[in-house]
Amino acid sequence: MSTELYFDVLGEPIGQPRHRVSTIGGRARTYLPKSHPVHAYKGAIRAAFMAAAGKWETITGPVHLAVYLQFEMPKSWSRKKREELIEQKHTGKPDLDNVLKAVCDALTDCGVWQDDRQVASIFIAKRWSERGNTTIRIERTEEDT
């Protein structure tokens, strides 16, 4: 059985930050600050998935994941520069792999799959756009029976 789900997440894509380390009583612990914007980004992914998925059955086999990241061009850019760079490749921060980690973590929390290790193939791209957006396509592959 092969099924696909597409959905958009409005807003600027955010990369998963490195965990911070602190010590309490001589023991180290890792954490992410509660105020980091990645938490809101993951929440937006979960909300968009829930709105698009309806009754979703957790995938137990291999998955193909496609993630299209669109980054808003700075308002300070001239109209000419904006026209030249619209839909062109985005090579700045955040790193592509850090955003992918945030996306996969959010989708795992939603129950899209049992674990993100099931993602057998990935397509991901970063582009400049008029506004920030993430388009996600999840495909349950034929091997999942």
Residue 74: which domain range?
3-140
Q: What is the pLDDT of residue 31?
A: 73
In angstroms, the CA 101 to CA 89 distance is 20
- CATH value at residue 111: 3.30.1330.70
| The three-state (H, E, C) secondary structure of 41-95, written as one string | HHHHHHHHHHHHHCCCCCECCCEEEEEEEEEECCCCCCHHHHHHHCCCECCCCCC
Burial bucket for residue 11 (CB in 10 Å: 0-12, 13-18, 19+): middle
Question: Rounded to two decimals, what is the model's pTM?
Answer: 0.86
Q: What is the pLDDT of residue 91?
A: 93
pLDDT digits (tens, 9 = 90+) for 70-81: 999 999 999 999
Query: How many domains are contained in the chain?
Result: 1
pLDDT digits (tens, 9 = 90+) for 75-101: 999 999 999 999 999 999 999 999 999
Residue 33's pLDDT band (boundaries 50, 70, 90)? confident
Domain membership flag for residue 145: no
pLDDT digits (tens, 9 = 90+) for 94-120: 999 999 999 999 999 999 999 999 999
Candidates 143, 47, 66; CA nearest to 104 is: 66
Res 20 pLDDT > 80: no
Domain membership flag for residue 100: yes
Domain membership flag for residue 44: yes
Residue 129 in contact with residue 74, Cβ under 8 Å? no
Candidates 35, 13, 2; CA nearest to 94 is: 13
